[in-house]
């Protein structure tokens, strides 16, 4: 059995929307208050605060008369946000993440409910302190009763419920087909068989609408209701771009996993590549890291293998026929002839063939096969 989150959109009643708004506000207030307290203790007193102390701090501040509003919402999301904060500090101290940041009101809001704070019965989901079930658009049934439910509201004002459930993955039948893919910008990726998947460039498609909405937002008075409406219009366009990108990546990753037993990819350092001021927008829009991440977990679910080769492997400069490696190969050169064997190569197809060969070699040697999780995805 494995765990998987199923996300659904729902439409709250005015009373539920008011309760959720207060819950989001309390979660944000508790997280930021305890984070300030822990930060002061860390930098002023050189003291590390653990979850037990943070939870005791929450109990203390809830007793203050001026903070009585914290008792009007469920206590579970408040405790869960402190658990998430503790995990963020753990990742920071172990060098895997940056220092925890304060939560902001205008970004995505969320609250996590455990089994003691919600009830799932007959296809209906009831949250704590809610008399009516959430009006969820059930696009597919849940495989089991959820263990946790995370309710969120994005910047565009949409509400989502993410249910964490246990499910039994279905292993796909073994197929002899293997594939290498070379990620790019002109084409999202090129396969070792010569197939080119064009880059949809979702940001460029909506660039004109986004620029118009942002200009209108910039002219609105600060703090006005019209500015809030204009900000939400901008957020809706960004949400549309993000949804289109995710939909395309999910379809492509599912197709690659369904058709191939082994998929060989590059382990690109997207965070480093995105520092290029000329290409950063295009790289971020392509979603390379998200595509590799989806391939990884979908391969694990279905019994397929996803192999990431070393990021320094010269896949583009190496001749896939004789193995000769060029000293340099500028980006503007898309086709080149090997000086050793004379074979002519398409840059991207040659790189995909080399990636496939290197991935299968890694698979045969048994090094870093079990987990693409060991390879940095960004």
Residues with catalytic annotation? Answer: 182, 266, 348
Alpha-carbon distance of 342 to 324, in angstroms, equals: 11
Q: For the range 214-221, what are the long-range contacts, defined as Cβ-Cβ under 8 Å and sequence gap of 24 or more?
A: none
Q: Which residues of 72-105 are buried (b: 16+ CB within 10 A; e: fewer)?
A: ebbbbbbbbbbeebbebbeeeeeeeeeebeebee
Alpha-carbon distance of 76 to 128, in angstroms, equals: 9
> Residue holding tokens 């220092």?
99
| 8 A C-beta contact, residue 335 and residue 346 | yes
323: Cβ contacts below 8 Å, ≥ 6 apart: none
Alpha-carbon distance of 92 to 86, in angstroms, equals: 10
Alpha-carbon distance of 182 to 354, in angstroms, equals: 9
Q: What angle do CA 326, 327, 328 make, to 5 degrees?
A: 90
Alpha-carbon distance of 253 to 232, in angstroms, equals: 31
Alpha-carbon distance of 115 to 149, in angstroms, equals: 8
Helices (H), ranges, 45-122: 51-62, 75-93
Nearest to residue 263, comparing CAs of 140, 172, 156? Answer: 172
């Amino acid at each position: 059995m494995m765990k998987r989150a199923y996300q659904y959109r729902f439409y709250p009643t005015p009373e539920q929307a008011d309760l959720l708004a207060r819950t989001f506000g309390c979660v944000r207030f508790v997280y930021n208050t305890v984070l300030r307290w822990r930060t002061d203790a860390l930098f002023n007193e050189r003291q590390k605060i653990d979850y037990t102390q943070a939870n005791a701090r929450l109990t203390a501040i809830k007793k203050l008369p001026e903070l009585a509003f914290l008792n009007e919402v469920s206590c579970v999301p408040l405790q869960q946000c402190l658990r998430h904060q503790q995990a963020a500090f753990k990742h920071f101290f172990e060098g895997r993440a940056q220092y925890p940041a304060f939560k902001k009101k205008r970004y995505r809001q969320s609250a996590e409910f455990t089994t003691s704070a919600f009830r799932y019965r007959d296809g209906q989901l009831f949250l704590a302190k809610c008399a009516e079930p959430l009006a969820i658009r059930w696009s597919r049934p849940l495989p089991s009763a959820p263990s946790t439910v995370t309710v969120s509201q994005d910047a565009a004002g949409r509400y989502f419920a993410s249910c964490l459930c246990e499910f039994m993955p279905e292993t796909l039948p073994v197929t002899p087909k293997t594939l290498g893919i070379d990620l790019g910008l002109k084409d999202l990726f090129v396969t070792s068989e010569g197939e080119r998947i064009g880059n949809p460039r979702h940001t460029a498609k909506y660039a004109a609408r986004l620029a118009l909405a942002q200009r209108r937002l910039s002219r609105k008075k600060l703090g006005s209701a019209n500015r809030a409406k204009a900000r939400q219009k901008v957020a809706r366009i960004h949400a549309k771009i993000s949804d289109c990108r995710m939909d395309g990546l999910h379809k492509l990753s599912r197709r690659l996993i369904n058709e191939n037993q082994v998929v060989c990819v590059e382990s690109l350092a997207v965070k480093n590549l995105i520092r290029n001021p000329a290409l950063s927008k295009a790289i971020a829009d392509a979603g390379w890291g998200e595509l590799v991440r989806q391939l990884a977990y979908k391969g694990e679910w279905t019994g397929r293998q996803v192999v990431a080769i070393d990021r320094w492997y010269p896949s583009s400069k190496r001749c896939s026929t004789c193995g000769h490696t060029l000293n340099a190969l500028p980006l503007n050169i898309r086709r080149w002839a090997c000086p050793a064997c004379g074979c002519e190569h398409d840059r991207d197809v040659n790189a995909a063939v080399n990636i496939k060969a290197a991935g299968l070699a890694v698979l045969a040697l048994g090094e870093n096969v079990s987990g693409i999780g060991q390879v940095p995805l960004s």
